[in-house]
Amino acid sequence: MATIAVSELTRAYGSVLAVDRVSFTVGEGEIFALLGPNGAGKTTIVEILEGYRSRDSGEVQVLGCDPASGGSAYRARIGVVLQSAGFEEEFTVRELVRLQCGLFPRRHDPDELIDLVGLADKRATRVKGLSGGQRRRLDLALGLAGAPELLFLDEPTTGFDPAARHHAWDLVARLRELGTTILLTTHYLEEAQRLADRVGVLKAGRLLTVGTPDELRAGSRLPTVISFGLPAGCSADGLPALSVPPQFREDRVRVVTHDPLPDARRLTEWAAAIGTAPADFTVAPPTLEDAYLALTEEPADVG
């Protein structure tokens, strides 16, 4: 049974069709990422699923309920982590988490939850003394207070440094192992590629595609880039015949190819024949970010 089932969901604001006949499902225990540029309709869809916004038409079932009429019983079964939230600055971390846990009939132990999100050493710290990343961990703890069956995560690692981001990814993966279904929105495409079982890509209210990150990458039919440093004493004329002409920038060679395996084999055989290994030889297939940019026709940041 699907945890989330959406069929022909539509929502307009005046003359603007924010969500245009969107349909998708999310399975039990799955991490599903909704991706799209600003204004694509992600927030409207998530707020409808949470039960905080009405729809114009379409069918929505979440945890077997219609969120529009599920009321407090429905909301007790979900957790919501917003992109930004306000706190009472004078509470300690433990006081705030304990208070939030007390609001739910089914709940986590406050101290175990604090440990889970990596705030054990900040248990007695007042909120005003937390860093931005620590506040984000507190957001996550509060969203998990009611031991939700379904967790909505909106940009969960905004403002995190790389180490904190990876810690958060490990935590989200652990929640999935515990059986929590997660709907994720993020602008970090690496995050979606790392965490999501499947992703849906939105643009201007329309759902362009749904699939696994690997399916989207393969479906993009974008080239693989082979790159390496030209060995000392070797010239461009000495390279083997490849499926495409190589590109050169100083002593660096790039091969932008749709036949990466044969081209990589020819290059490694050539290197073995001349007895010199190319420097920093890399084979980079298209990423989920590459596929996303191609789908949404957003320009890549080349700054």
| Each residue's pLDDT tens digit, 251-301 | 899 999 999 999 999 999 999 998 888 889 999 999 999 999 999 986 555
Average pLDDT for the chain: 91
Contacts of residue 233, Cβ cutoff 8 Å, sequence gap at least 6: 276
Identify the three-state secondary structure at position 265: helix
| Each residue's pLDDT tens digit, 139-181 | 888 999 999 999 999 888 877 778 888 888 888 888 888 889 9
At position 303, the amino acid (one-letter code) is G
Domain extent listing, the chain? 2-218, 223-285
Task: Tell me the C-alpha distance between 48 and 80, whole Å.
Answer: 13
pLDDT at residue 95 tops 80: yes
Third-level CATH fold of 2-218 = Rossmann fold (3.40.50)
pLDDT at residue 8 tops 80: yes
Contacts of residue 50, Cβ cutoff 8 Å, sequence gap at least 6: 67, 75, 78, 80, 152
The pair of three-digit structure tokens given for residue 45, joined into one six-digit string: 């869809």
At position 295, the amino acid (one-letter code) is L
